[in-house]
Amino acid sequence: MADSNITKKALAESLKEIMKTVPFDKITVAHICEGCDMNRKSFYYHFKDKYDLVNWIFDTEFIKVASERSFKETYEERMESIENICEYFYDNREFYQKALLIKGQNSFSDHFCEYIQPLVKNRILFLLEEFVTIDEAEVDEFTLDFLTDAILCAIERWLLSKECMKADEFLEKIMGLIKTAIVIMQQELS
């Protein structure tokens, strides 16, 4: 198993390095293998294609950062976790800027959405727990899609902007918008 991870990490580092100078659609499996002195057979033993490798990078790196959190932690702990996630994206923005531009079948954006959507659903259910029983709690598809798209679009716009702001600044702006929206909604409802 350790050898498998060493091979996967070598292929991942090769792809990341190539993505710094070559558009993703121009990168071939041969390029990736050349970058780490491996053969195509080794690549295909571990990955279906280069898209699968991009998703593996996300799965192993990002999910490690994201899995360090719990939905039942305190507000301060949740904010620290979100800060860590934003820092991860900012520190790896060069890779994610390129990954987010991958379009079509097996795109990173689709994979990212598939990962984020269950997290959004679980968070909504956790927040609803105070108001309804678990049996009654349900998140409709429209709400789930809307909130997932909002998160994905915000992250994508942030990372793809020419002057990508630092993670703490991005999070500060997001939290400011959320707090302002809550105040306005409270005023409207009063």
Q: Digits of tens for pLDDT over the chain (190 positions)?
A: 567 889 999 999 999 999 999 999 999 999 999 999 999 999 999 999 999 999 999 999 987 887 765 555 677 887 888 899 999 999 999 999 999 999 888 899 999 999 989 888 887 887 777 665 555 557 789 988 999 999 999 999 999 999 999 999 999 999 898 889 888 988 888 7
Question: What's the confidence (pLDDT) of residue 70?
Answer: 54
Residue type, position 8, single letter: K
Query: What Rg value do the Cα atoms of the chain yield, rounded?
Result: 19
For position 148, what pLDDT does the model report?
Answer: 92
DSSP assignments along 88-109, one per residue: HHHHTHHHHHHHTT--STT-HH
pLDDT at 136 (0 to 100): 52
Name the nearest CA neighbour of 53 among 14, 89, 103.
Answer: 14
- Distance between CA atoms of residues 45 and 89, nearest Å: 29
Q: In whole angstroms, what is the distance from residue 180 CA to residue 185 CA?
A: 9
CB 36 within 8 A of CB 10: yes
70, 71, 76, 79: CA torsion to nearest 10? 90
State residue 132's pLDDT score.
59
Name residues whose C-beta falls within 8 Å of residue 35's C-beta, 6 or more positions apart in sequence. Answer: 13, 14, 15, 17, 18
- What amino acid occupies position 43? F
108: buried, middle or exposed (CB in 10 Å: 19+, 13-18, 0-12)?
Answer: buried
**pLDDT number for residue 2:** 61
pLDDT at position 63 is 79
Residue type present at position 72: K
pLDDT of residue 72: 52
Is 2-47 a domain of CATH 1.10.3470?
Answer: no
